[in-house]
Structure 1
Amino acid sequence: VWEMNRELPLAPVVQRVAVVTSPGAAGYQDFRKELARSPYRFELTLFEAFMQGAAAEESIVEALCAVAERAEAFDAVVLIRGGGARSDLSCFDGYRLCTHIAQFPLPVATGIGHDKDTSVADLVAHTALKTPTAVAGWLVERMAQADARLDQAALQLHDATIRAMRASEVRLVQLAGEVRQRAGECIARTAMRLDRLGERLPEAVRALLERQRTRLDSVAELVAGRSPERILRLGFAVVRAGGRAVVSAAAVRPGDRLQIELADGRLEATAGSDTKSGAGCDAGPKSEIRPAIRSDSEN
C-alpha cells in the first residue's frame, strides 16, 4: 500500500493540476505566485477542503473523491497547506485519508508546510515536498526538463534532417552520374548498331533492286509473250468490220467490207457467200471472204 501511489507513472509534462486546499490559505497563494513567475502555463482547478480541525480529514477525502470522478482531466493532484502547529497536522496522519492517497488513481504531491515533521500522507504520496512553494518549484522544474527534452529532440530532428538531406544529395549525385553513364552507353550501342545497319544498307538496297529488276523482267517477258504483235507474228489475223473486231462468222453478212490486220500490214476484203455443205449435214449459206488485195502500204 505504501508504494501504490508512488509507482504510478507521472506524465512528462504536468500542466493540468487538481489543487486540494483551502482557498484562503497562505500556502495556496504562495503556490500560485510561484507558478505565475515561471514562463509556463498551468491549468489549476481548485477543490476546496478544510486543512485543519476535526472535519479536515473528511473534507479532504471528499475533495479527493471529487477529483477522482474527473481523473481523466488531470495529470496530477497537489495537496497543500501553509505552516502551523504540529497538532494542526494530525488529520494528515488519519487512516482514511492516507488510504485514499495511497490508492488514488492519479499521482499525489504533498506540500503540507511543516519543515521538521513528516506526516503519513507524505509517506504514501507519490512525491512529498515541504512547502506549497516547493511543490510549485517542482512542477516548474518538470516543465523545464520537458522543455529541454523538446529542445534536444528538435535539435536532434534538425541534425537528422540535415544528415538525411545531405545523404539524399549525395545519392542524387550518384544517380545522376549513373544515369549519364548508362545514357552514354546506350547512345554508344545505338550508334554502333546504326553504323552496322548503315554498312549493310547499300547491299540490302542493291539486293532489293536486283530482285525487283528480275521480277520486272519476268513480268515484261510475260506481257511481251501475250502482246497482239507477237500473236500476229504467229500467223493469226485480226478481222474488223465497221471498226469492230469480228469474233463470229455469223456477225458478217455477204458484201460487208472487212479490214484484216496481219503482222506486217493490213488488207481490205469483201465478204461473199459460201454454199458448201458441212461434213455429213446440210449447212446454210456462209460468208466467204473475197480479198480486195490491198494493203496499207499501197495507200
Structure 2
Amino acid sequence: MPSYTLTQLAAALRNCIESGFPGRYWVSAETIGVRVGTSGHCYLELLDKDAAGSRVTARMKAIIWASDYNTLSLRFRQETGAAFDSGMSVLVMVAVTYHEQYGFSLRILDIDPSYTMGAMARKRKEIIEELRKSGLYDRNRSLTLPRPIRRIAVISSGTAAGYGDFIAHLEHSEENFRFYPVLFQAVMQGDQTESSVLAALERIELHKELFDVVVIIRGGGSESELAAFDSLAIGRACASFPLPIFTGIGHDRDETVTDLVAYRSLKTPTAVADCLVASHREEWKQIDALRSRAADALRLMMMYNHEQLMQLSLRTPSVLSASVRGEQHRIKAVEDRLKLAAKQQTTYGLQQLRITTQKLPALMQGELKQCTASLERLTSRLPLVAAVNMKRYNRQLEASEQAIRLLHPNATLRRGFAIVLKNGKAVRSEAELSYGDKLVTRFADGSVTTVVTESK
C-alpha cells in the first residue's frame, strides 16, 4: 500500500480534479451566505435542493475574485433590478478548483442575469397565485375609499427625495387643499426593507381610525432594491390591510407584488400626490355641482310656493267665509248639546234629592237608636270606672304625703341632727363664721344660743 504525506495527497487530488474537470461549466443553483470581504472577493455557497425544496441535495463553496465581482455584480444589478445576494436562483459559469490549504471550491467566472430574472418572475407568479388562493389578492382594492382623503399615513424614508417631492406636491396644490400626512419611518432599500415596512404597517394598524389611506413611496434610490416589494410577507400584509393602500415605489419596469395588491399603484411619489390632489379636486367639483343643484331647486321651490301663495290669497275670502259658517254651526251644535246635558243633569239631581228626603227619617231614627245604646253602655260602666280611678288617686296622694313627711327638716332633726342658724339663715360652712358671731342651734325638741369664741 503506497504512503503519502498530506501535501502529496492534496497535490494528487488537485491534479485529479483539474484533469478530470479541465473546462468551464454552467451550473444552476441557489445562493446562500453571500458576503464581500475586505479584499473585495465575494464568498458564498451554492446549494441544490430536491424537487419539493425541503432537503439540500448538494452544497459547495464558491468564490468570485474581486477582479470579476465588480463587473459581474454591476451587470447583474442593471439587468435584474436586484443586487446579487443570498436566496437567489442563479445560473453561473464555474471552474472547478482545489487548493491544498483551502480545499475544494467553485470559481464563478460569469453570471446569467436572464436566468435569475426568470426565477424571479416565477417566484412573483407563485406569490400572486398564493395570494389569489387565499382570497387576499383583490381584498385591498375592494375597500371603499373614504371621501374626502385628507389623513394620510406615509411609509417612506424621511430623508428620501421622493418623500420631499410628495409633501411638496400636497402642500402646493393650486387650490391650497389641506392634507394631514404623518410619516412612519421605514428603510426603503437594503436587507432591512421587508422587516421595516412590515413594522410600519403594524404601527399604522394600531391607530387605523386616525387615517383615511396608507401611502408607500420610495424615490431617489437605486431600482436594484425593489426585490423586497416582491416578497410574500409584504404582499400579504398590504392585501389584507384594513385601509386602502397607494404605492409610488418609483420604477418603470414590471409592477411588484406590492403594486399588484395595492388599492392604487402609480409610478412615482409625485404621481401619488397628484392623484390625491385630483381626488380632492373632484370632491370639490361634486360639492360645487351639488351646491348649484341645491340653489336651482331652492329657486324653483320659492317660485312654486309664491304661485301657491298667490292662489291662496285669491281664495282666502270665500274659504274664510265658509270656515266661519262651519265654526258657527259647530258652536250652535255644542250649545244645544250643553243645554240638553244641563237639563238632564238637573232632572237627575232632583230625583236623587227626593229619594234622599224620603229615606232621611228612617236613617235619623236608626242613628238615634245606635247613639242611645252607646250612651246607656257608657252610663252603666261609669260607677265602676270612677271607683277604680278614685282608688288609684288615693294611693298616689298617700305616697306623696309620705314623701313630704320624710323630706321635712323636723324628720332630720329627730334622727339626731341639728341646724345652726346665723341671723336666721342656715350655716353651711365654717368660712361663713367669724369671732363673736351669735348663733342659734335648733334641735328636734328645742334650741340654744351660742357665741363663736374659737375656730379650729
Give the TM-score normalised by the residue count of structure 2: 0.40
> 1:99-127: per-residue Cα shift (whole Å, max 9, x none)?
00000000000000012231110000000
How does 1:139-178 map onto structure 2 within 5 Å? Answer: 139-178=276-315
Match of residue 143 from structure 2:
8
User: Which of 233, 241, 253 is the equivalent residue of 1:96?
Assistant: 233
The amino acid of 1:6's aligned partner reads R
Cα deviation for residue 174 of structure 1 reads: 1.3
Conserved 8 A contact 2:160-2:220: no
> 1:147-204: per-residue Cα shift (whole Å, max 9, x none)?
00000111111111111111111111111111123346789x8xxxxxxxxxxxxxxx
Deviates more, 1:19-28 or 1:155-164: 155-164
Conserved 8 A contact 1:23-1:48: yes
Query: Could you tell me how far apart the structure 1 residues matched to 2:223 and 2:276 are?
Result: 26
Match of residue 79 from structure 1:
216
Query: Could you tell me how far apart the structure 2 residues matched to 1:33 and 1:186 are?
Result: 72
The amino acid of 2:311's aligned partner reads Q
User: Which of 186, 193, 217 is the equivalent residue of 1:49?
Assistant: 186
Where does structure 2 lack aligned partners over 5 or more consecutive residues? 1-135, 326-456
> 1:190-236: per-residue Cα shift (whole Å, max 9, x none)?
xxxxxxxxxxxxxxxxxxxxxxxxxxxxxxxxxxxxxxxxxxxxxxx
- 2:160 matches 1:25: yes
Match of residue 258 from structure 2:
121
The amino acid of 1:13's aligned partner reads P
Q: 2:224 aligns to what SS in structure 1?
A: helix
The sequence identity of aligned pairs, in percent, is 41
* Higher Rg of the two aligned structures: 1
- 2:206 matches 1:63: no
Q: CA RMSD in A?
A: 1.7
Query: Could you tell me how far apart the structure 2 residues matched to 1:17 and 1:186 are?
Result: 65
The amino acid of 2:206's aligned partner reads E
Query: Could you tell me how far apart the structure 2 residues matched to 1:46 and 1:130 are?
Result: 20
Higher relative contact order (CA 8 A, sep 6+): 1
Q: Structure 1 residues 113 and 83, CA, compared in 2 at 3 Å: closer, same or farther?
A: farther
The amino acid of 1:85's aligned partner reads S
Aligned residues: 189
Query: Could you tell me how far apart the structure 1 residues matched to 2:240 and 2:323 are?
Result: 76
Q: Which runs of 4+ in 1 moved over 2 A?
A: 83-87, 180-187
Query: Could you tell me how far apart the structure 2 residues matched to 1:23 and 1:96 are?
Result: 23
Match of residue 268 from structure 1:
none
Give the TM-score normalised by the residue count of structure 1: 0.61
